[in-house]
Amino acid sequence: MIDHILEGNKEFIKGDFTENRDYYRALASGQSPTVLWIGCSDSRVAPERISGAKSGEIFVHRNIGNIVRVGDWNFATILEYAIKHLKVADIVICGHSDCGAIKALSADKESDEAYIPLWLSNASQARSELEREMPKPADPAAQKEWRRRLEEENVKLQLKNLRTYPIVREAERSGKVAAHGMYFDLETGKLEKIA
């Protein structure tokens, strides 16, 4: 696979990089993205590909389940850098269909894994909220729709978590930043704003 990646890089250099040499030369001296994108690590949901963005337009943070953990110093540094130094105008939290994290969160059996359940506890409130409104159905087809609702509920929860960071609250209050919840459907390729 590494050889495939290196070959892909050679094709990139021969194609896009050479054709847009001035653009990439400018990027080599600095970045000025306008969006901070918080998305899932899922290999099928590459932010630049699904949004049609070019290199340098999106500052990206990805993790399992597009989670914004409250009180996370690593994440706080990303926010601080994006808002204070890069001066992004928008923050996007993007969930997606067929999310493995949400499947794990919606499972009714205990996991024998150490780290994934601990990480997903940062999204458990989304499941609790949805179950209050709509109990998990037994029918497999209905469960698929229920999981989609859970994927969307998780995006809304993570927006709430995002706003626990003072730097985000202040940037929103002063009109410097707008936060958005988005959802990508793998089957249709559609990206839509949901919050």
Annotated binding site for Zn(2+): 40, 96, 99
Give the C-alpha separation, 158 to 164, whole Å. Answer: 10
Question: Residues near 69 by Cβ (< 8 Å), separated by ≥ 6?
Answer: 75, 122, 161
CA 1 to chain centre: 25
Catalytic entry in 42, 61, 127, 147: 42
Catalytic: 44? yes
Is the alpha carbon torsion for 35, 36, 42, 48 positive or negative?
A: positive
Catalytic: 99? yes
Give the C-alpha separation, 155 to 161, whole Å. Answer: 10
Catalytic: 94? no
Catalytic entry in 21, 44, 85, 169: 44
In 47-139, where does DSSP find H-type helix?
47-51, 73-80, 100-106, 115-120, 124-133
Give the C-alpha separation, 184 to 192, whole Å. Answer: 7
Give the C-alpha separation, 110 to 123, whole Å. Answer: 16
DSSP-derived 3-state class of residue 62? strand
Catalytic entry in 61, 94, 99, 147: 99
Catalytic entry in 96, 127, 147, 148: 96
Active centre residues (catalytic)? 40, 42, 44, 96, 99
